[in-house]
Amino acid sequence: MQVEVVRSARRKKTVQARLVSGVLKVSIPDHFSRAEEVDWVEKMAARYRSQALTDGFDLTERALTLARRFELPAPNSITWSDRQKTRWGSCTTDTATIRISSLVANFPDWVLDYVIVHELAHLVEANHSQAFWALVDRYPRSDRARGYLVAKSDGR
């Protein structure tokens, strides 16, 4: 991805990024050091790459297919979350709402499927009891996917 950095004397604290004709234009305060510039450009580029992976991907259809296949309830909604940095997914059982970290979009499909099945299982069992793990283990690659996530977790 081509990046153009625009330094602005008017910009005091905020950083902005826009994709214009395939070029990521990152506007930063003029007083930022070179290290701050590099850091922000990396953050903004990562955000846009992540967004490109999740745009157009139908999580709802994927969740409905997995719910049918593994005899689990369907969520009322399932969405990507750019804000989840310490969890791969979350489930609000009261509203049957599932959020999947956009970081998971970079992982193999079978890992994404595992995370979805894990969250769907919470619609039946809100905790991590034996009954919960029995539901999750209906997914044939659950052990392998858990290992993959542990390796990627950085202490999560």
**93-127 confidence digits (pLDDT tens):** 999 999 999 888 888 999 999 999 999 999 999 99
For the chain, give every domain's residue range.
Answer: 2-54, 59-152
List, for residues 49-66, the tens digit of each pLDDT value. 766 666 667 889 999 999
In the numeric block, which tokens belong to residue 43? 């953050």
Q: What is d(CA 130, CA 51) in angstroms, rounded to the nearest whole number?
A: 36
- The fold for domain 59-152 equals Zincin-like (3.30.2010)
Closest CA to 93 of 60, 126, 63: 126
- Nearest Cα neighbor of 152 from 101, 118, 117 is 101
Which whole number is the average pLDDT over 137-144? 97
